[in-house]
Structure 1
Amino acid sequence: MKTILDLARAKREQQPIVMLTAYDALMARIVAASEADLILVGDSVAMVVHGFPSTVHATPEMMAAHVAAVRRGTPDMVVVADMPFLSVRRGTAYAAEVAGQLMQAGATAVKVEGVTGHEEVISHLVGSGIPVMAHLGLTPQSVHQFGGYRFQGRSAADAERLRDEARQVEELGAFALVLECVPSALASQITEERAIPTIGIGAGAGTSGQVLVISDLLGLDAQFQPRFARRYLEGHQLIGEAINRFTRDVRGARFPAREEVLA
């Protein structure tokens, strides 16, 4: 996909959308060479790359640096950047400044968690020429308020609230909507009700597309495997085995070989 308009077309044509979360130029090049559609530079970079316990530790500077790295790895793909913690709660001017920083770093669009309390910010960003992807359901920046990483929308009242929020973000101009950790029937209902495409994570198969973090897909972290993140590779095991083979070759004087030595 070359533009955000391709996502709307994909929904109209019932072509499932594939988004992967990546944080650096190397992974971006790999994703760009694949059949995936777009890249999300998520604020999960604070956890996956920097080792923090939650996404609230992501800063505008951190996000901009990783967006720039991803853009250098893929000149043409749609790249969506997360607006970091509190950046949409400090007024329209500050939000526009942060979003502008991410766009100048190479983002095609920004992603905003939630809607209540910052409706004006979303409208202002869209009106400023900054495409906005919305994010509802489990919004990780609110993990402390939720009391942990918990499914959302289970009760009738919560489900109705999420449906109303989905309507709001569409009316405010969001071009797409991430639905995270909500019941599959609710995600399907929202997808049917809204014209904009939905991208699910832990939200069943009834959304317009799916997103996974590249390190989860590749199984790079042996200690982390959420139920909704299918591993397509046991990467931690394969990498560990390769490192051990290299170590044994060095200790056994088998590396470097003669043909690997510069004259």
Structure 2
Amino acid sequence: MLNTLLTKAGAGEKIAMLTCYDATFAKLLALAGVDVLLVGDSLGMVVQGAANTLDVTMQDMIYHTRLVAKGASATVIMSDMPAGSYEHDKTTALTNAQTLIAAGAHIVKIEGGGDMVETARYLVENGVPVCAHLGFTPQSVEKLGGYKIQGKTEESAQIMLADAQAMVQAGVDMVLFEMVPAAVAAHITQHIGVPTIGIGAGAGCSGQVMVLQDLLGIYTGTADKAPQDYKAPRFAQNFLQQAGSVQQAVVDYVQAVKAGSFPEDRHSY
């Protein structure tokens, strides 16, 4: 199944990815033509109501991966490895990754570059497909000093390119860029041999991902934040506003990604 997706990307077809956390939406998204369902640790924010992703557990990820797999067993499912589940020990990382695969994931996503390359290599060598997540990495939000664009300087852009190339050499199948200048993400995409997915990284990536609740315009921050005080991220777009139905909003998103009309410059850095 993953090979079919990679073949599409190799032929130049844009990849449309959305986050998904339950069976009902999994079925709806699959029928609307979404290529990849990301069981993201973003569920910590949009499902559990937390301020970030740091408290999401392996049990949370296993549970939601199982739900999504029940709704869309014929669609590629990517699952995030949550904070603390892979960074400190390769053997533990493999055990946790294999558990997510057993729950229904076809590929797992890990955050970080340089120091995570050997972990990625170990997972791949043991039969686990991996997507590397570079740029802004939500699990490192405290270390990064908040939600900040990454790769803005020539030095940091070169480091990101080197990290992406190292991850590809380690055997990852995909690379995801979050909150990276569009020109940087496009340049790296042209210089590595695997598909790239962007979120706030411009239209030059091989595909795009959005958080489902952002696509529907229903996320307004944590419970203690007044909706009018919440500011949606620059890369988000409410597709439901003009669509008239949830199903049509998802179809419109898929079509926009495939046509290259989303994201626009206003969604990028």
- Place the TM-score, normalised by the shorter chain, in its bin: 0.7 to 0.9
Aligned residue for 1:106? 104
Alignment partner for residue 228 of structure 1, among 216, 235, 253?
A: 235
- The one-letter amino acid of 2:204's match is G
Give the 5 Å matches for 1:178-189.
Answer: 178-189=176-187
In structure 2, the residue matched to 1:57 is 55
Q: CA deviation at 1:151?
A: 0.4
One-letter amino acid of the counterpart of residue 43, structure 1: D
User: Cα deviations across residues 29-65 of structure 1 (Å, max 9, x unaligned)?
Assistant: 1101112111000000111101111111111000000
Q: From 61, 73, 76, give the equivalent of 1:75.
A: 73
Q: Does 1:205 align with 2:203?
A: yes
Q: Which amino acid aligns with 1:173?
A: G
Note the aligned Cα RMSD (angstroms): 1.7
Matches for 1:149-160 after TM superposition, within 5 Å: 149-160=147-158
Counterpart position of 2:20 = 22
Distance in 1 between residues matched to 2:116 and 2:21, nearest whole Å: 27
CA drift at 1:238: 8.9
Name the structure 1 match of 2:253.
none
Q: Equivalent residue for 2:8?
A: 10
- Asked whether the 8 Å contact 2:113–2:160 carries over to 1, the reply is no
Match of 1:117, SS state, is helix
Work out the CA distance in 2 between the residues paired with 1:198 and 1:57: 27
- Give me the whole-angstrom Cα distance separating, in 1, the residues matched to 2:148 and 2:170: 27
The one-letter amino acid of 1:134's match is A
Identity of aligned residues (%): 40
Equivalent pair of 1:7/1:197 in contact (CA under 8 Å): no
2:233 alignment partner, SS class: coil
Q: Would you say 1:117 and 2:124 are equivalent positions?
A: no
Query: What is the one-letter code of the residue matched to 2:55?
Result: H
- Corresponding residue for 1:132? 130
| Number of the residue aligned with 1:177 | 175
- Using the alignment, how far apart are the partners of 1:217 and 1:150 within structure 2? 21
- Counterpart position of 2:146: 148
Deviations 1:102-128 (A, max 9, x none): 111111110011122232211111011
Q: By how many angstroms is 1:6 displaced?
A: 2.5
Q: Is the 8 A contact 1:39 1:77 kept in 2?
A: yes
TM-score, with length taken from structure 2: 0.84
Give me the whole-angstrom Cα distance separating, in 2, the residues matched to 1:32 and 1:202: 23
The answer (yes or no) to whether the contact 1:41–1:79 under 8 Å persists in 2 is yes
The Cα offsets for residues 193-214 of structure 1, whole Å up to 9 and x where unpaired, read as 0110000000011000000111
> Which residue of structure 1 aligns with residue 262 of structure 2?
none
Higher relative contact order, structure no. (Cα contacts within 8 Å, ≥ 6 residues apart):
2
Q: In 2, are the aligned partners of 1:60 and 1:98 still within 8 Å (CA)?
A: yes
- What is the distance in 2 between the residues matched to 1:195 and 1:43? 27
- Higher-Rg structure is 1
Distance 2:38 2:68 in 1: 9
How far has the Cα of 1:97 moved from its partner?
1.2
Is the contact made by 1:220 and 1:234 (CA closer than 8 Å) also made in structure 2? no
Using the alignment, how far apart are the partners of 2:233 and 2:75 within structure 1?
A: 27
Contact 2:16 2:34 in 1 (8 A): yes
TM-score by length of structure 1 reads 0.86
Structure 1 residue ranges without an equivalent (≥5): 240-263
Distance in 2, matches of 1:69 and 1:198, equals 26
Residue identity opposite 1:228 in structure 2: F
Letter in 2 for 1:124: Y
The 3 A distance-change label for structure 1 pair 89 and 19 is: same
Residue number in structure 1 paired with 2:263 = none
CA deviations 1:223-242 (Å, max 9, x no partner) are 4521101110149x999xxx
